[in-house]
Amino acid sequence: VQRIGVLTSGGDAPGMNAALRAVVLAADHYGMEVIAFRHGYQGLLDNDHAPMRPADVMHILQYSGTVIKSARCQRFKEVEAAQEAAANLDALSIDALVVIGGDGSFRGAEHLSAHWDGQIIGVPGTIDNDLFGTDATIGYATAVHIAMDALDKIRDTADAMDRVFIVEVMGRYAGFIGLSSAMAAGAERMILPELQKEKPLTISTIVKHIERTNAIRGEGSYVMVLSEHQWPGGAVALAEQLEAEYHLPCRPCLLGHIQRGGPPSPADRILASELGVHAIELIRDGVTKVMAGMQAGTPIAVPLRDTWEKKNPLDSNLLRIQHEIFNPVKKTPRT
């Protein structure tokens, strides 16, 4: 393999730049050239590309976002788009493509592979941590850190005024950011997709829990983490409903895209560096249609399709501790 293409696609994630840097440095180490496509798959279709040498990636690992830009490209789902992309890759004599992104980006990679013979390797870059086969995705640790930091700040004001706060976090349809940030910040309650599927919360169950929490520890703040898409109208609607029906001073806070910015955490920089290098080494091994993942400190290769067809569950021990020990809904009988 002589020439590698690389792109970042979908929602940007802190650490994508570190992954890009690692891809470029590792490729250079093994004597390969790198061509970067700008704006994800859109750049593949528009022939929007530039060579990337080690000098181009110096000192980018400490920044979130992505220097080669990202995009969500709906058109790439079409057969003609994949064929066009394949022709563009062939015209550039590209032998392998590294796709840094989440499950939508990996589906795009799989789609491309039906029309292109080159190798394709995915690198998991998403704050949502919703890809099977890797202990963590690049960007997740930073997003949790940002959410925890915000929750700590909300706690200060919530405590001062004995208020209920609902803090809405990202995560798409997975509760990883919600659970970890709630645990890290000592939130009283979580509304997570995985829990809602089992037993959806109602306004009255939430209020009962607030009352029970107050009864146990006296008046104070009550901070609830709400995963996005888990309450119709989100945190604003939930806060209004709680306040209207039960006259509790209740405030919403939407963290939104703040969770994708600022300096990537050390864990994300290191994971991105390892996985970027791993992607290039997988290309050298001749494999294709896999994601470069990390399990228990060991770099592994996961079939691309598994990354979205299978699901990593939430950590059951964290759930148990948060729910049954720290914030019990019912009193557990003493043994």
Residue whose structure tokens are 């066009």: 84
Question: How near is the Cβ of 126 to ligand F6P at its closest, in Å?
Answer: 5
Mark 51-80 with x for binding to ligand F6P (rule: CB under 6 A) and - for no binding.
---------------------x--------
Question: How near is the Cβ of 198 to ligand F6P at its closest, in Å?
Answer: 21
Question: How near is the Cβ of 224 to ligand F6P at its closest, in Å?
Answer: 19
- CB 62: neighbour CB atoms within 10 A? 11
The correct pick among 84, 95, 128, 188 for binding ligand F6P (CB under 6 A) is 128
When the beta carbons of 122 and 171 are compared against ligand F6P, the nearer one is: 171
Beta bridge partners of 81: none
The correct pick among 20, 127, 158, 183 for binding ligand F6P (CB under 6 A) is 127
| Span 250-279, contacts to ligand F6P by CB under 6 A | 260
When the beta carbons of 72 and 163 are compared against ligand F6P, the nearer one is: 72
Question: How near is the Cβ of 43 to ligand F6P at its closest, in Å?
Answer: 17
| Residue 47, C-beta contacts closer than 8 angstroms, at least 6 positions apart | 88
Judged by CB under 6 A, does residue 170 bind ligand F6P? Answer: yes
The correct pick among 5, 40, 101, 102 for binding ligand F6P (CB under 6 A) is 102
When the beta carbons of 258 and 287 are compared against ligand F6P, the nearer one is: 258
Integer Cα distance of 33 and 327 in angstroms: 54
Beta bridge partners of 96: 4, 119
Question: How near is the Cβ of 9 to ligand F6P at its closest, in Å?
Answer: 11
When the beta carbons of 131 and 283 are compared against ligand F6P, the nearer one is: 131
The correct pick among 15, 101, 171, 175 for binding ligand F6P (CB under 6 A) is 171
Question: How near is the Cβ of 235 to ligand F6P at its closest, in Å?
Answer: 14
Question: Residues binding ligand F6P: what is the number (CB under 6 A)?
Answer: 11
Judged by CB under 6 A, does residue 172 bind ligand F6P? Answer: yes
When the beta carbons of 5 and 102 are compared against ligand F6P, the nearer one is: 102
Integer Cα distance of 257 and 307 in angstroms: 24
- What the block records as the tokens of 47 is 């022939």
Judged by CB under 6 A, does residue 126 bind ligand F6P? Answer: yes
* Residues assigned a catalytic role: 128
When the beta carbons of 74 and 204 are compared against ligand F6P, the nearer one is: 74
The residues binding ligand F6P (CB under 6 A) are 11, 72, 102, 126-128, 170-172, 228, 260
